[in-house]
Structure 1
């Protein structure tokens, strides 16, 4: 008999390099969550303008579209550790200008927006290297457990930190709060630098960073039936997530009767975190039992059902349960999708392929979902808006079940990069 899931998890965390990697990700994501809350508050305090404030959110998506493919090519060309450490240091420097300018009474809205945009561009390059680094530390059969750990820990940080930041901003200025993120970038750089094992395979120094390098990764995605379909599914699932996040507060207010200052709003966000953590625990078990592809085929229809349940909920308790179920399904699909791409992609193409997946999800699917939901919510009630947007999960399930995923083997091999 195989060992239990807790034992497997314990062995994974007992690896010093895995522990350092996970600690770096938690520290970095904690800081990013701080900035995600503080930046809009800061720029709104300076301008009083909803338009200026919305530009901070736009700055989150554009860098992936502009630089994603090139970042992936760079991370596949040079040492990933250097890219990650360098990106952390540069991000710390970019964000440090915000509290410094504030302390000197010289901070402007343009400065805040430029710093946010610069930090996000730098993060794209960090993320491209990071997506390829984990498969270098963990054998491919253990990637489901490793990714589940990363996703679960990230979700806890992203659930707890915003509440703490909300309380912290009452005590100190948003600009000073951003200084916390600067320190987390420095800590992340030190942790990544301390990892002893390589984060990259052998590099071909004669390869270029031009269009040919980008095209090589794109050709692999288009040729590989699993990767191609999973990226499409990932974009559709991200669309559903972006649309739900865009109207979540409005839905809580208008449908569930849960308004700002109501303790149930905290429970609502807590349900999101609980569902996500539950999903991260289930991922390794589902993949071990059914294989990654079959697990995705099973989870996608359930995700569509959870989206439908949210649109039908008319009171806060059913709404919280439906949101927890949806969050669990979202983490399951996201983790399985990332894991499948990592398992079949050759190491020399890893960052390009993984970054393309990020572009499809967070660069295209997520912001499009948010924009459409905002437009629909101005014409329809939130229940109808959520129902329309969550149909993307039904489409994702249909794409999966009508595609070659149905005939894919249980265990996937690494493909050729020719």
Structure 2
């Protein structure tokens, strides 16, 4: 049976390895998140094709998310994570290689992005179940805050650095860094001493090839728990609507910076726009454990989602760079409070044998569907209406997320928590 090391997380060497692996990989992913749409935009000049890079971030979750959850609950999670990382070294590495050889096309970039995110879907499915096993359920909130907190620092620094680097380097060259970070992540995850799956799961992995019926039954078990649990279901729907709004922004962020804010596609002001999510992430990670102790998960979502919707609309409607930057801080805080809170809640209330399936099903619905639909809608509307009108239309879905939250069972759950006697 897997055992969890006692004491503070920072004193746990296995968690430090896991934490370093996630942040190393995140650094590379942030480089690619800025460089890849710039690469497509510079090659094609098309807002619609540029928006496809954002679509491909979440589309694999829509296609493979449920199956990746079964894999994460049946197979050795450590091996799944290492294998996905190593495969992505090759996939991402093909883009700069093709550029150096003079054969890079938009189709190559988009296919590489799709395959890389498909592999990450299986990494993420295993990762969702691995963290509670590694640190214990009582420390999941602290662990998520530790990862998201430093992740916020990277969100702040990396996009700004990429914006400056793009003034002197081609975006394809920057993707080399992402390929290297996948390699480092694989080595760090492999070095974790404790198991990331229970003995029961590792024994079950021997019978993985038992047929489609068994796999579908496993998928239904995860979906059944998600839909019947009022809190998990509500947070998932809210996440889907909020993701649609966030995807609309990210899909058009590069042409929006260029055509609406007038800051171009490189330089420090371009980088700062993307970096403001980092400020929000830092504050959200710092606030999450404190707010959870004071107001609980249901009330936290009810308070944060209207702020997210309002700040998002300010960002989408302004044409002033400084106003956009300031509003993005507030949007980033509230948006990421909802995300961290929802993830922590699912990991705390889901039975261990369903962890990967429920979390990947929730992420497929909230991120896979929401992000894919938002990015596709933004790209299509931009071609018909122009970048600014499309941005406002898609980001406005955040208001629907806030309205649903206050009509959902979360109000009852929050009231029950407040009414419960304290001990």
Q: TM-score under structure 2 normalisation?
A: 0.83
Give SS of 2:237's match.
helix
Alignment equivalent of 2:128, drawn from 127, 131, 135: 131
Cα distance, 1:77 vs structure 2: 0.5
Alignment equivalent of 1:270, drawn from 265, 269, 275: 275
Give SS of 1:197's match.
coil
Please say if residues 47 and 382 of structure 2, whose CA atoms lie closer than 8 Å, have aligned partners that are also in contact.
no
Which residue is equivalent to 1:114? 111
| Residue 177 (str. 1) matches residue 182 (str. 2) | no
Which residue is equivalent to 2:61? 64
Which residue is equivalent to 1:148? 145
Give SS of 2:375's match.
helix
Deviations 1:191-227 (A, max 9, x none): 1111122212231625755211111111111211111
CA distance in 1, matches of 2:102, 2:36: 17
Deviations 1:336-358 (A, max 9, x none): 01111111111111111111122
Cα distance, 1:118 vs structure 2: 2.1
CA distance in 1, matches of 2:106, 2:248: 27
Deviations 1:293-328 (A, max 9, x none): 221122222223323444565644443322211111
Deviations 1:265-303 (A, max 9, x none): 444333332122111111111001111122112222222
1:259–1:346 CA distance, 2 compared to 1 (3 A): same
Which residue is equivalent to 1:415? none
Give SS of 2:8's match.
helix
Which residue is equivalent to 2:4? none
Alignment equivalent of 1:279, drawn from 267, 281, 284: 284
1:169–1:396 CA distance, 2 compared to 1 (3 A): closer
| Residue 366 (str. 1) matches residue 371 (str. 2) | yes
Cα distance, 1:174 vs structure 2: 4.3
| Residue 214 (str. 1) matches residue 219 (str. 2) | yes
Please say if residues 42 and 175 of structure 1, whose CA atoms lie closer than 8 Å, have aligned partners that are also in contact.
yes
Cα distance, 1:241 vs structure 2: 0.8
Alignment equivalent of 1:82, drawn from 79, 84, 90: 79
1:34–1:248 CA distance, 2 compared to 1 (3 A): closer
Please say if residues 272 and 327 of structure 1, whose CA atoms lie closer than 8 Å, have aligned partners that are also in contact.
yes
CA distance in 2, matches of 1:382, 1:89: 37
Alignment equivalent of 2:93, drawn from 91, 96, 100: 96
CA distance in 1, matches of 2:280, 2:17: 26
Cα distance, 1:150 vs structure 2: 1.7
Cα distance, 1:64 vs structure 2: 1.4
Cα distance, 1:145 vs structure 2: 2.3
CA distance in 2, matches of 1:104, 1:248: 29
| Residue 348 (str. 1) matches residue 345 (str. 2) | no
Which residue is equivalent to 1:322? 327
RMSD: 3.1
Please say if residues 128 and 351 of structure 1, whose CA atoms lie closer than 8 Å, have aligned partners that are also in contact.
yes
Cα distance, 1:182 vs structure 2: 2.1
| Aligned pairs (5 A) from 1:286-305 | 286-305=291-310
Q: TM-score under structure 1 normalisation?
A: 0.84
| Aligned pairs (5 A) from 1:372-411 | 372-377=377-382, 388-408=393-413, 410=417
| Residue 164 (str. 1) matches residue 169 (str. 2) | no
1:351–1:248 CA distance, 2 compared to 1 (3 A): same
Please say if residues 255 and 314 of structure 1, whose CA atoms lie closer than 8 Å, have aligned partners that are also in contact.
yes
Which residue is equivalent to 1:18? 15
Unaligned runs of 5+ in 2: 1-6, 419-423
CA distance in 1, matches of 2:104, 2:387: 38
Alignment equivalent of 1:29, drawn from 22, 26, 29: 26
Comparing 177-186 and 212-221, the one that deviates more: 177-186
CA distance in 1, matches of 2:43, 2:393: 36
CA distance in 2, matches of 1:227, 1:30: 30
Please say if residues 310 and 386 of structure 1, whose CA atoms lie closer than 8 Å, have aligned partners that are also in contact.
no
Unaligned runs of 5+ in 1: 1-9, 412-418
1:366–1:198 CA distance, 2 compared to 1 (3 A): same
Cα distance, 1:253 vs structure 2: 6.2
Cα distance, 1:151 vs structure 2: 1.9
Alignment equivalent of 2:239, drawn from 234, 240, 244: 234
1:45–1:213 CA distance, 2 compared to 1 (3 A): same
1:253–1:130 CA distance, 2 compared to 1 (3 A): same
Please say if residues 294 and 410 of structure 1, whose CA atoms lie closer than 8 Å, have aligned partners that are also in contact.
no
